[in-house]
Amino acid sequence: MKRTIHRELTQPLATMVARREIHPGAHVLVSISADGEKLVIRTTDAEPSTPQKQVILIVDDNHDLLMFLAGELRTESWEVYVAKTADEARALFCKHKPNALLIDYLLNEDDGLKLGVEIQTEAPETQIVIMTGGGLSSEEQALCEKRGYPILYKPFLAENVLKVLQGRLLRASVSAGV
């Protein structure tokens, strides 16, 4: 039964979401085909909504990495804002309300993890990803796990950043009702 549900319902639904045939907030109706052999999946909403632009704030005091990541994400159609300090990040966050933050753990004198917690406390739907060259204590790792913050360990590939961000935002949209 479990395999049949997976094959006949879960997999087709996942494909429809990936193809954007089912959009956020859509109602899905599942019925049996006229011949009784298949499931028919359709949405009740006639027009898909315009996909929400993905907006990210990247916070890192390493100028070269910051500019590289910004360029890579812009290539993938993200609206990107960059900050080198926690104060800059707070101001940009208030102004642009990004979907996601990619934050370096060490920001000169600032603490990127504390910044992430602060921002997510203010805006719980914001997806936080922590970057680090290492150095997280076991308590900090536990905090990241508790809050659901993925950790990207430097050095990493740009494609790894994209995979983590796409996975985070897809999970967020699914939990929001797709």
Same domain for 116 and 71: yes
**Residues 72-109: tens digit of each pLDDT:** 999 988 999 999 999 999 999 999 999 999 999 988 88
The domain tally of the chain equals 2
Query: Could you tell me the residue range of the domain that residue 147 belongs to?
Result: 55-175
Q: How many Cα atoms occupy the beta-carbon half-sphere of 70 within 13 Å? A: 15
Listed residue (67, 71, 57) closest to 101, CA to CA: 57
Instruction: Give this prediction's pTM.
Output: 0.68
DSSP secondary structure letter of residue 49: P
Co-location of 143 and 61 in the same domain = yes
In a shared domain, residues 36 and 59: no
Q: Quick check: 114 and 104 in contact, CB under 8 A? A: no
Mean pLDDT of the chain: 85
Residue 50 lies in a domain: no
pLDDT over 80 at 44, yes or no: no
| pLDDT tens per residue, range 6-40 | 788 877 877 777 777 777 677 888 888 888 888 88
* Whole-number percent of the chain with pLDDT over 90: 48
145 and 93 housed in the same domain: yes
CA distance linking residue 173 with residue 144, whole number of Å: 20
